Amino acid sequence: MQALTFHSPYTIIHTSASRPRLCSPTDAIVRIRFAGLCGSDLHIYRGTEPGPDRGTVMGHEFMGVVAEVGSKVVGINVGDRVGGAFTTCCGECYYCTHSLSSRCINGLLLGYVSSSVGLHGTQCEYVLIPNASSSLFTCPPLISDIETLLLGDVLTTGYHCALNGVENVYGFRKEPMDEETASAKQRELNRKAELVVIVLGCGPVGLMAVVSALYLGVGKVIAVDMVEERVQMARMYGAEGARPDAVRDAVRNCTDGRGADVILEAVGNNSALSLALELVRPGGVISSVGVNNSDTFPFNPTSAYNKNVTFKTGRCPVMSLLPQVMPLVLSKKYDLEKIITHRMKLSDGNKAYEMFDKKTNACIKVVFEVGVEE
Ligand SMILES: [Zn+2]
Ligand SMILES: [Zn+2]
DSSP secondary structure string, 238-291? T-EEE-GGGHHHHHHHHTTTS-EEEEEE-S-SHHHHHHHHHHEEEEEEEEE-S-
Model confidence at 180, pLDDT cuts 50, 70, 90, reads low
User: 118 C-alpha to center of ligand 2: Å?
Assistant: 16
Ligand nearest, relative to CA of residue 106: 2
Question: What residue type is assigned to position 248 of the chain?
Answer: R
Question: Is the pLDDT at 49 greater than 80, yes or no?
Answer: no
pLDDT at residue 191, as a whole number: 87
Question: Is the pLDDT at 137 greater than 70, yes or no?
Answer: yes
User: 161 C-alpha to center of ligand 2: Å?
Assistant: 22
Question: Is the pLDDT at 178 greater than 60, yes or no?
Answer: no
Report the range of poorest mean pLDDT among 208-217, 250-259, 287-296.
287-296
Ligand nearest, relative to CA of residue 97: 2
CA angle 299, 301, 305 (to 5 degrees): 110
Q: Are the C-beta atoms of residues 9 and 51 closer than 8 Å to each other?
A: yes
Ligand nearest, relative to CA of residue 317: 2
User: 136 C-alpha to center of ligand 2: Å?
Assistant: 13
Ligand nearest, relative to CA of residue 95: 2
Please indicate whether residue 295 or residue 278 has the higher confidence score (pLDDT).
278
DSSP 8-state symbol, 70: -
User: What is the percent of the chain with per-residue pLDDT over 90, rounded to a whole number?
Assistant: 89
Query: What is the β-pairing status of strands 366-369 and 28-37?
Result: antiparallel
Across 12-41, average pLDDT: 97
pLDDT at residue 72, as a whole number: 98
Across 98-104, average pLDDT: 96
**Chain centroid to CA 52:** 21
pLDDT at residue 292, as a whole number: 87
Ligand nearest, relative to CA of residue 109: 1
Ligand nearest, relative to CA of residue 266: 1
CA atoms of 63 and 95, how far apart (whole Å): 25
User: 320 C-alpha to center of ligand 2: Å?
Assistant: 11
Question: Is the pLDDT at 220 greater than 60, yes or no?
Answer: yes
Residues with CB under 5 A from ligand 2 (ion): 89-90, 93, 96, 104
Question: Is the pLDDT at 372 greater than 70, yes or no?
Answer: no
pLDDT at residue 185, as a whole number: 81
Please name which of 195, 186, 198, 349 lies closest in space to residue 264, comparing C-alpha atoms: 198
Model confidence at 24, pLDDT cuts 50, 70, 90, reads very high
**Residue 344: in which H helix or E strand, if any?**
strand 342-344
pLDDT at residue 51, as a whole number: 86
- Helical ranges in 68-153 per DSSP H: 132-135, 145-151
User: 60 C-alpha to center of ligand 1: Å?
Assistant: 6
Radius of gyration of the chain (CA): 21
Please give the torsion angle defined by the CA atoms of residues 239, 240, 243 and 245, in that order, rounded to the nearest 10 degrees: -130
Q: Are the C-beta atoms of residues 308 and 182 closer than 8 Å to each other?
A: no
pLDDT at residue 172, as a whole number: 66
Ligand nearest, relative to CA of residue 318: 1
Model confidence at 186, pLDDT cuts 50, 70, 90, reads confident
User: 146 C-alpha to center of ligand 1: Å?
Assistant: 14
DSSP secondary structure string, 149-213? HHHTTHHHHHHHHHHHHHTT---PPPPPGGGTTS-HHHHHHHHHHH-EEEEE--SHHHHHHHHHH
pLDDT at residue 187, as a whole number: 82
Domains of the chain from N-terminus onward: 2-153+317-369 (3.90.180.10), 157-313 (3.40.50.720)
Give the phi and the psi of residue 252 in degrees, each rounded to 5: -55, -45
Q: Are the C-beta atoms of residues 38 and 111 closer than 8 Å to each other?
A: no
CA atoms of 73 and 133, how far apart (whole Å): 5
pLDDT at residue 174, as a whole number: 64
User: What is the percent of the chain with per-residue pLDDT over 70, rounded to a whole number?
Assistant: 96
